[in-house]
Amino acid sequence: MKPPIHDPSARKHSGAPSLLPGRGGPPTSYADVAEVERQIAELVDRSTPELRLVWRQLHHTGPPHGLSRDLLIRALANQLQERSYGGVGQALRRRLQSLTGATEKVATAVDPGLVLKAGTTLVRQWRGHTHTVLVHTDGFEHEGQHYRSLTAIAERITEAHCSGPRFFGLTKRARASAGAKAGR
């Protein structure tokens, strides 16, 4: 087995960004890398109020309520690395934003703890008829028509006001009652 190569020029063809200035990576040196690592290591030794102060200096606002010490340290370490090595590019940032936007639309239409992927099919028997709903990134499809929410579909099927996620068995309460009926 060959010993690992510690030559920085070996990164040139590995696909990993180079740590040397002018070699395709961010303009840093090994001294800069060591400095960032030292700053990150120091975060662990700081008190929580000191970490909150560092957060305020970086973000010009206080950290989110309920953020644990561990997450605070991780977020600050990430911020230090982004400042030294560069952050996510605009193209990737736009792509991530579009993906999270599409997921949020479907997630908020159902249960906050449940995310339905586009392409998922929901099936429900109601009064002897099988109803099939196809999940899209921007809503739901039932019998060839597009709906923004499952509740609208459930109300159309039952002709009464009812919760769509509960009707299709997507809520904790619906799953619990289904489990209780199965156990009888």
CA distance 108 to 13: 44
Look up residue 100 and give its amino acid.
T
Span 158-166, average pLDDT: 87
Give the phi and the psi of residue 29 in degrees, each rounded to 5.
-130, 175
Cβ 70 vs Cβ 46: under 8 Å: no
Span 132-141, average pLDDT: 89
| Both structure tokens of 115 | 């995310």
Instruction: Answer whether 0.85 is exceeded by the pTM.
Output: no
Question: Which of the two residues, 32 and 132, has the higher pLDDT score?
Answer: 132
Over residues 111-126, the pLDDT tens digits come to 555 678 888 888 988 8
Cβ 71 vs Cβ 63: under 8 Å: no
- The predicted pLDDT at position 106 comes to 52
Burial class (CB in 10 A: 0-12, 13-18, 19+), 76: buried
Nearby residues of 174 by Cβ (< 8 Å), 6 or more positions away: 165, 166, 167, 168
| 12 pLDDT more than 90 | no
